[in-house]
Structure 1
Amino acid sequence: MPGPGGGDLARLRQLNERTVLRVVREAGRPRVAEIVAASGLGRTVVEEVLQSLAGRGWLVEEPAAVTGRGRPARAWRFRAEAGHVAGLDIGAHGVRAVVADLSGHVLATVHERTTPALTRQKRLRTAGAALDTCLSEAGAPAPWALGVGTTGQVDATGRVTHCNAIPGWTGLDLAAHFRAATAPALVVVDNDSQLAALAEHRRGAAVGVGDLVLMQAGLRTGMAMILDGRLRRGSHGAAGDLSLLRGVAWEAAIEHLHRCPDVPADVPGVDRAERAFAEARAGRPRARTAVRRYVRAMAVAAATAVSVVDPALLVVGGAFSRSADLICEPLAEELSRLCSSVPEIRASTLGAECAALGGVALALDGIDRRLLADSRGRLPDLGVNSL
C-alpha cells in the first residue's frame, strides 16, 4: 500500500504536537519517559516534538531532580508565562478584573465600585480601565483571551438578552465591544453566576465534584449548575435563572438584611447587608432574626434547584460567602424541611472574585479549543503574544 502523503504527514505532526503539549501541561514537569508513556507515542517521535515545541517557545527543558547515580533525566515544562488571559466580572455594584498566565496562575486583581445607576458607557469605560490597570499591574501585554461575566442572561454570541439590574444593559453585545476595545484574539462572555460555578468547580470549593448547584449570594443573587462535571447553560443561557419567579422571593430576600433594625440608619445601602451580618455575629437578636429570614427566603430558591437536580454539593458563593458561618447551618435546616435529600453545603473558597476567576477559566477553555482541539493548523510560534 502507498505510504502517507505530505498532507497526511503534516496533519500527523500537528496531532502529535497537541498530544505532547497536552501531556506536559497536565503533568507539570514530566520526564521524557513519562511523556512517552502518557502520550502513547514512540520515544523518537516525542523527542522530535519536544525539540520543535521548545524551539517555538511552547516548552522549556529543565533539569529534573536527581534521584540516584548517573545522568539526571531531563524534564519539560509548559511555558505558562508565554501568554496571558484575563477575566472580567461586570455587575451592578462593581467591576472586578483578574489577569492570569496560561496555567491560570493569578498575577493581578483589580476591583472598582460602581452603582446600578451608572450609564452603560460609563460602566463599560470603568470595566475597560479596570482591565488596563490589571494588565499593567501584572506586567502583561494584551491578553490572548478575555472571559467576561455579567449579570443577566447572555446568549451564545456574547449578547446580553435580558438584564433587570443594570439600566440599558439588555441588548448589549459585550463580545463585540471588547473585541473592538481591547483586541485580544478571543472574547467569550457568560452570565456571572455561571462563571462563578465554573471557577468553584475548577479551583474552589467544588473541585472533583460532578454534580453541584452554586447559589450566588451577594448584593445580587444568582444560581448555576454543574452536571456530570460540565457547566449547564441551557438552550438560551438561562439555566438556574429564577429572577422572574415571584413565588421564590429571590430578588427580595436581601431586603431582610437592608431593613435590619440593628443597622444604623446612616450606613450606606451598599454596606447594610454586610453590617447586618456583623451585628448578627455579635449576637444582636434582631440582626440574627434578619439573617434567618434572609436565609429562609434564599432556601426556597435553593430548594427549587436542589429538588430538580439532586446535587451532591451546594456551594454558597458570592460576597456573602464570607458570612457562611451564619448562613450554612440554617440553610441546611431550611432545606431539610423543603427537600427529600439535602446535599452537602460548602462556602466558596473564592469569595467575591469567583465570577472573574470563572472568566479566566472560560478564556483558558477558549484557548484550548482553538489551539489543542483544532488539529487543522500548526501551533504558532510564540515570538509574539497573540494567537
Structure 2
Amino acid sequence: MPASPSTARAINDRLALRLLQQEGPLTAGQLKQLTGLSRPTVADLVERLTAAGLIAVVGEAGEQRRGPNAKVYGIVADRAHLAALDIRTEGVAVAVADLVGRVLAEASVPIGGDTGTGPAVEQAVTLVERVAKEAGADRLHTVGIGAPGLIDPSSGELRDSTGLPEWHRRFVATLQERLPEARVRVENETNLAALAEQRDGAARDRDTFVLLWLGHGTGAAVVLDGALRRGASGGTGEIGFLPVPGTTALPTSTDCEGGFHSLASSAAVVELAAEYRVPTEPGQEASRAPGVVRAAAGVVRGAVARAREEGAAAGPAPGSTEEHPPAVPAARFLDALADRLAVGVASVVAILDPGCVVLGGEVGEAGGKELAARVQDRIARMTPLPTEVRTTTLGGGAVLRGALLTARDRAQEELFTPGERLPQPSPGR
C-alpha cells in the first residue's frame, strides 16, 4: 500500500533533516541530489521546514552563475538546547549543546564522599543551571545522564545500590523537579561510553564489540549486530561481579568485592603498582590509577624506542625491556595488569565472541597500545576465538559524549516528527 501524502511528507522531511544534520548546510539542489526527490518536492519540504522554524537560510552557494546564487539551508541549531551529564562517585561533569550537538559550555565539580546528600544534590543541580545559563539556554529540551549502577529497563530509573552514593538517585528526581519541561533520560555510564566509541571512537568500524570500562570501578557494555544489549534487568556487562581466580572471596548480590572488580578497579591498580615498586602520586585511587598506568606505559614505550634505535633488528616484543633496567618494573607491572584484565576479557570472549574488545575509561586510555597489546597477546593464548583488543580514543570523556549523542538523538527524534515540534520562538528572540 502506498504511503499517504501526509506520511510521505513526514518521511521526506525527516530524510532532509537527517542529511542536514549529517552533512551540514546544503542547497536545495544538493538536497535534491542526495534524496533523489523531485525539484518541486524538495521546494515544498524546504518551505515546510522553514515555516516550522527547523531550518533557515545560512548563506549562499559560492559558485558564480547567471542570476542569484542558490540559498544554503541549515538546521536552526538554537531551536533546542541539550545537556549531557556524567555522574561519578566523586563528582559530576556537565556539557550543554545546541540541536546539532555543538558544545556551548561545560564544567565539572568534585563532590567529596563526606558531603551530605542534600548539599551534594544542590551542588550538582546548581552546576547544571549555571552551565545552561553560560550556554545561553533559556530552557533545556533533553537531558542525558550517564550514571554508574543498574538502570531499570521498565522505568528508566537508577536502581538503588549499596555501592553508590545516595545523592545519585536523589539528584535525578531533584533535577526533574527544577527542570519540569526537560526530558530527563538516565543510562548506565558504560553503555553510553560504548555508544560514543561506536559513533565517534575506537569501534566506528565494528557492529559487534565489547567495551571494558576501566575507571574508579569496572564495567562492560555489549554491542551485538549494531545494537546495545541491556539484558532482562538492565544488568548486561556488570563484569565487576564476575567470580574470578586470584581473589580472596566471592562477590555477593550487594558487593562486587571478590569479583573482577577486586582485580581491576582503580584501588586494585594502585595496589598492584606498589607491589611492583612503580611510584604513584599522592591522592585518591580514582586519579592515581590512570597516572601510574600512563607513566608505566610511557617508560616502556621509551625503552622500546631506545632499543630499536640501538639496533634491535625487528624491535623487541612487548615487555622486552631487560636491557633498560629502569623500565623493568614498569613492564612487569603492565604484564601483571594485563594478566588480570585477560581473566575478565577471556570470559566475555568465550560467551559472546565479539571479535573486538575496547579498553575504555581513564585507565584503558592511559595504558594505550602497550597495555592493549599485552591483553591481546594473552587472549590469543587463552581462547581459539580471534579477538582484537583496542585502546579507547575517547577515554573518560566517552560517557559525556555518549550522553550528548543520546540527548541529541532523542531531541531530534521528537522535533523532526511533524506535530511534535517546539512552539515558535517569541518575536525578537
Tell me whether the two structures share a fold, i.e. TM-score over 0.5. yes
Q: 1:34 to 1:65 in 2, by over 3 A?
A: closer
Give the secondary-structure state (helix, strand or coil) at the position aligned to 1:153.
coil
What are structure 1's unaligned runs of at least 5 residues?
A: none
Q: How does 1:153-232 map to 2 (within 5 A)?
A: 153-156=150-153, 157-168=155-166, 172=169, 175-232=172-229
Corresponding residue for 1:47? 43
- CA deviations over 1:281-301 (Å, ceiling 9, x no partner): 344544443333222212211
Distance 1:165 1:292 in 2: 29
Which residue identity does 1:302 align to in structure 2?
V
Give 1:251 shift.
0.8
Corresponding residue for 1:383? 425
Aligned-residue identity in percent = 27
- CA deviations over 1:51-80 (Å, ceiling 9, x no partner): 232233211224444345334333221122
Is 1:273 the counterpart of 2:289 in the alignment? Answer: yes
Give the secondary-structure state (helix, strand or coil) at the position aligned to 2:333.
helix
Which residue identity does 2:411 align to in structure 1?
I
Is 1:297 the counterpart of 2:313 in the alignment? Answer: no
Which residue identity does 2:260 align to in structure 1?
W
- CA deviations over 1:243-287 (Å, ceiling 9, x no partner): 222226421123443223336688123343234325523445444
Q: How does 1:82-161 map to 2 (within 5 A)?
A: 82-116=79-113, 118-156=115-153, 157-161=155-159
Distance 1:44 1:119 in 2: 62
What are structure 2's unaligned runs of at least 5 residues?
A: 246-258, 300-325
Give the secondary-structure state (helix, strand or coil) at the position aligned to 2:376.
helix
Corresponding residue for 2:356? 313
Corresponding residue for 1:61? 57
Q: 1:243 to 1:143 in 2, by over 3 A?
A: same
- CA deviations over 1:114-167 (Å, ceiling 9, x no partner): 344544434333322332233233333332100011110101323222534314
Correspondence for 2:262 among 252, 255, 278? 252
Corresponding residue for 1:362? 406
Give the TM-score taking structure 2 as reference length: 0.78
Give the secondary-structure state (helix, strand or coil) at the position aligned to 2:83.
strand
Q: Which moved more, 1:276-285 or 1:306-315?
A: 276-285
Q: Check conservation: 1:174, 1:189, Cα contact below 8 A.
A: no
Q: Check conservation: 2:280, 2:288, Cα contact below 8 A.
A: no
Give the secondary-structure state (helix, strand or coil) at the position aligned to 1:89.
strand
Is 1:337 the counterpart of 2:381 in the alignment? Answer: yes
Q: Which moved more, 1:152-161 or 1:30-39?
A: 30-39
Give 1:318 shift.
0.9
Q: Which moved more, 1:349-358 or 1:262-271?
A: 262-271
Which structure is higher in RCO with an 8 Å CA cutoff and minimum separation 6? Answer: 1
Distance 1:30 1:358 in 2: 27
Give the secondary-structure state (helix, strand or coil) at the position aligned to 2:105.
strand
Q: Check conservation: 2:85, 2:95, Cα contact below 8 A.
A: yes
Is 1:243 the counterpart of 2:240 in the alignment? Answer: yes
Q: Check conservation: 1:152, 1:164, Cα contact below 8 A.
A: no
